[in-house]
A and B are shown apart, each in its own frame.
Chain A
Amino acid sequence: MGQNQIRNFCIIAHIDHGKSTLADRLLEQTGTILKRAMQKQVLDQMELERERGITIKAKAVRMPWLAPDGKVYQLNLIDTPGHVDFTYEVSRSLTAVEGALLVVDASQGIQAQTLANAYAALEHNLYLIPVINKIDLTNARTEEVSREIESVFGFNREEIICISAKEGKGTDKILNAIIRHIPPPAGSKNSPLKALIFDSKYDSYKGVIAFIRVIDGVIKNGENLRLMSNDIIFESLEIGIFSPEMDALTSLQAGEVGYVATGLKNVTDCHVGDTITTVINPAFQPLSGYREAKPMVFAGLYPIESNEYPALRDALDKLKLSDASISYEPESSTALGFGFRCKFLGLLHMDIVQERLEREYGLRLLVTAPNVAYKVIKRDGSTILVDNPAKLPPPQEISEMQEPWLSATIITPDRYIGPVMELLSQYRGRFERLDYLSGNGETEASFSWKQVSVKFTLSMGMLLANFYDQLKSATQGYASLDYTPSGYQTGHLVKLDILVNGQQVDALSRIVPSGIASSEGRILVDKLRALIPRQLFDVAIQAAVGGKVIARETVKALRKNVLAKCYGGDVSRKRKLLEKQAEGKKRLKRIGQVEIPQEAFMAVLKKNNA
Chain B
Amino acid sequence: MKLKQLEGLLGGLQQFSNAKVELEQYPTGPHIASRMLFTAENSFGDISSKVVADFGCGCGTLGAAAALLGAEHVIGIDIDSQSLEIASLNAEDLELDINLIQCDVKNLGWRGQTVDTVVMNPPFGTRKKGADMEFLSVALKIASQAVYSLHKTSTRDHIKRAALRDFNASSAEVLCELRFDVPQLYKFHKKKEVDIAVDLWRFVPKVNQGKGD
> Is A bound to B?
no
Q: Give the A-binding residues of B (Cβ under 8 A).
A: none
* Chain A residues at the B interface, C-beta cutoff of 8 Å: none
